[in-house]
Amino acid sequence: MQHFAIQTINRLFLEVFITTLRKYQYTHKDFLQRGINSFAYDQYDLPIFAYRYPASTAFGILFHLFFLGRKLKLKLLKQIFSDDYIQELFRINILEKTDSVSVRSTIFLIPFKTYYFACDFILQLIDRSNNRKRSKYESVYPIGLDSITLSEVSIKKQFNSVLDLGCGSGILSIIASGHSRYVTGIDLNPRAINFSQFNALLNNVDNCHFICGDLYIPIKNEKYDFILSNPPYEISIHKSNLFQDGGKYGYKILQKIIEGVSAHLKKGGFCQIITKIPEFTDKTKAQLFKEWVHNDNLHVFYLELYRRSIYQLAYEICSDSFFGTTKKKSCRNYSHRVNKLLHFLDKINLKSMSSGLITITHDSCFKYVEHIFDGKNIQTNELTSKLQEVVYKHFIYFLGFYGLIYLFRSSLINIIKGVFPFSYNFLKKF
């Protein structure tokens, strides 16, 4: 069953909805000013957020409703929305009643730049009693730092056609639509396709088309100028959520994507993937990529952002054991899961997990180049431009005139920042 009846939603109503959110400072800019990072927080932060921003202001009401996923008294919403407007929010399934006097949001609504993206509550579920159970194939994963990073550092030249594999909430498709003629998003999860369609409507985007299916299967032999993906990459001993499950080694989906790149990427096109790649004691990443591309003439550039040891990996994967149970039981569960996972990782000869950005294009023969990014002395607000610069410099020959323009602009900005720092903010507008 679909969450949104897309054909019945009034676009004008959504425009008024967005205007209302902005009016009461439910925006990415205001989140940052309040110290709220929508893409890097955990369950420990939620009660602190709730205390810092109580539902006693218009912003607090929207924040408790759409970010924290808390139920609120209906009368509080009437401080912001009219009765008719609230009824329409019920009708299109943005709001639901929890009892005769209380309501809650059915969607986790994340602001990013000028966009808004609806997805499912995940971390907030501990505070949402009687939440409808969904199968592992249903949940639409909230936007994470990996998707944000890819959306920021991806190649921004004008493309005719873009393919987003495993589109999820549609964030990569919708942002890419700004520099593309048309975008096709594909996901195996029907609920994700429904949310992507809603998010395109919410952001007034008309050149995105979303298809439910398994990677390249729905598009058959079609080729694209640009392929994007943030595939599931978590190592799974047992089956887990579809948006997380990368199989036994973590690269099950990644391998399928790379195996199909040559057949679906146009000459002169690019494929960019943000993911995690295992480091084995008996096989290098270069050997993995060579196996995946077979005999195809592809140029693979891997930009490593950071690396985790198997011990750090075990902590990250198993740390959710501490939620939803007693301290004694949670410590016992955590210890059991960590030991089981570490034994498994040793068995498959895994020594670490690398996170990074893969960029692929056609070339005269197979080439694999790896670069470890050092961001220690780089300020956060300069990280995106530095990552872009590394990729663009490596592919300057393939990017042609566009690459030269980008690097010229980047060099000019660096010169102006050093000589006329007051002019930098002015230059960023262009």
pLDDT in tens, 164-175: 999 999 999 999
Question: According to CATH, what is the number of the domain 145-399?
Answer: 3.40.50.150
* Partners of residue 298 on adjacent β-strands: 362
- pLDDT for the residue 119: 95
Q: Which of 368, 385, 312 minimizes the C-alpha distance to 345?
A: 312
pLDDT in tens, 7-55: 999 999 999 999 999 999 999 999 999 999 988 888 788 899 999 999 9
What radius of gyration do the chain's Cα atoms show?
23
Q: Are 392 and 352 in contact (CB under 8 A)?
A: no
Distances (CA, A) of 89 to 5, 84, 107, 194, 282: 12, 9, 11, 17, 55
Question: b vs e for 227-250, b when ≥16 Cβ sit within 10 Å of the residue's Cβ?
Answer: bbbbbbbbbbeeeebbbebbbebb
pLDDT in tens, the chain (430 residues): 689 999 999 999 999 999 999 999 999 999 999 999 988 888 788 899 999 999 999 999 999 999 999 999 999 999 999 999 999 999 999 999 999 999 999 999 999 999 999 999 887 655 555 555 555 457 898 998 899 999 999 998 899 999 999 999 999 999 999 999 999 999 999 999 999 999 999 999 999 999 999 999 999 999 999 999 999 877 766 555 444 565 667 788 999 999 999 999 999 999 999 999 988 888 888 888 998 988 789 999 999 998 989 888 888 777 765 554 445 556 777 888 888 888 888 888 888 889 999 999 999 899 999 999 887 766 666 778 888 888 888 887 777 766 666 666 655 555 444 444 444 444 444 4
CA angle, 38 then 152 then 287, to 5°: 110
- pLDDT for the residue 340: 87
Cβ-in-10-Å burial (0-12, 13-18, 19+) of 315 comes to middle
Model-level pTM?
A: 0.87
Q: Which of 238, 131, 229 minimizes the C-alpha distance to 183?
A: 229
Which residues make Cβ contacts (< 8 Å) with residue 389, sequence separation at least 6? 407, 410
Intervals of CATH 3.40.50.150 along the chain? 145-399
Cβ-in-10-Å burial (0-12, 13-18, 19+) of 223 comes to middle
The residue to which tokens 């607000």 are assigned: 381
Q: Which two tokens stand for residue 68?
A: 């924290």
Q: In terms of DSSP H, where are the helices of 184-318?
A: 190-202, 252-264, 285-293, 310-318
